[in-house]
Amino acid sequence: MSTDPRPILVIGATGKTGSRIADRLDALGEPVRRGSRAAAIPFDWENEGGWPIALDGVRAAYVSYFPDLAFPGAVEKIKALCDVAKDADVERLVLLSGRGEHHARLGEEAVRASGVPFTLVRAAWFAQNFSEGYLRDPILSGLLPMPGGDVAEPIVDVDDIADVAVAALTREGLPDDLYEVTGPRLLTFAEMADTIAAATGSPVRHVPISFEQFHEALEATAGKFVADIFTAIARETLDGRNAHVTDGVNRALGRPPRDFADFARTAARTGHWPVAA
């Protein structure tokens, strides 16, 4: 536990990564400022005028842009946030970035150029998309519809991302400024479906779909704008460019990343998916 009374701001504190990071900091006894629109000291990406108040007195900040750094205007907002953080004498920014994404790299460059000490956490595809995200409902129906064919991904457990971010926020600087975090092995979406089936005891089948079908399904639930962005990300990243593992988790934490099978068993045990009797 740090003796520094200044809080750590967690932007996106209600999201998959932010909620875990804020809870871990609480458990460590660190003062936390939960950054969300409904917080006591609110943070809203659409209200730039409120950012100086949210960052006032903060010693470090975790930055995750919702819904994604690929959204129009996201990189400009990251640059503006960095300026506010510098003026507020924030001592470290920890940015969540996406692996293999052009716009995510632009966001990283904005943080690098900010003059504020930083750590970049460049993450692979989230395992929790299956248990807490938009793919949970298809999984519950026994299907995993995804484009990309047989491309393999080193899917990462969000708990590992949270642990790396907490280390970056609370230590006196990790030895490197970039941690590219992945799981320990490559898996195709068919293998992921089989792994989830083994954990739940219920059939789960991968259904290969086109990017056009992926867009159509997203548009039906989230609208055309969101569908356009996320389909573009899928086209960009599901081409094999990310089909290799990295040592980011090990370098940051001194332990290997969690395996997808362990994630699946935990998700089943904790009730994210029903388990067959």
39-84 confidence digits (pLDDT tens): 999 999 999 999 999 999 999 999 999 889 999 999 999 999 999 9
- Listed by start position, the domains of the chain span 8-124+157-181+245-257
What is the mean pLDDT of the segment spanning 116-129? Answer: 96
Mean pLDDT taken over the chain: 94
Q: What is the pLDDT of residues 192-223, one digit of tens each?
A: 999 999 999 999 999 999 999 999 988 888 88
pLDDT band of residue 176 (cuts 50, 70, 90) is confident
Taken as a whole, the chain contains a residue count of 277
Burial class from Cβ neighbours inside 10 Å (0-12, 13-18, 19+) for residue 66 reads: middle
Q: What is the pLDDT of residues 86-104, one digit of tens each?
A: 999 999 999 999 999 999 9
Share of the chain above pLDDT 90, in %: 87
- Residue 175 pLDDT > 70: no
DSSP H or E run through 44: none
Burial class from Cβ neighbours inside 10 Å (0-12, 13-18, 19+) for residue 27 reads: exposed
| Nearest-angstrom CA–CA distance, 118 and 112 | 7
**Helix (H), strand (E), coil (C) string for 239-276:** CCCCCCCCCHHHHHHCCCCCCHHHHHHHHHHCCCCCCC
Instruction: Tell me the C-alpha to C-alpha distance, in Å, between residue 138 and each of 133, 187, 268.
Output: 10, 19, 15
Q: What is the per-residue burial (b if ≥16 Cβ within 10 Å, else e) of 114-133?
A: bebebbbbbbbbbbbebbbe
Give me the CATH code for the 8-124+157-181+245-257 domain, please: 3.40.50.720
Instruction: Tell me the C-alpha to C-alpha distance, in Å, between residue 150 and each of 156, 162, 264.
Output: 18, 29, 20
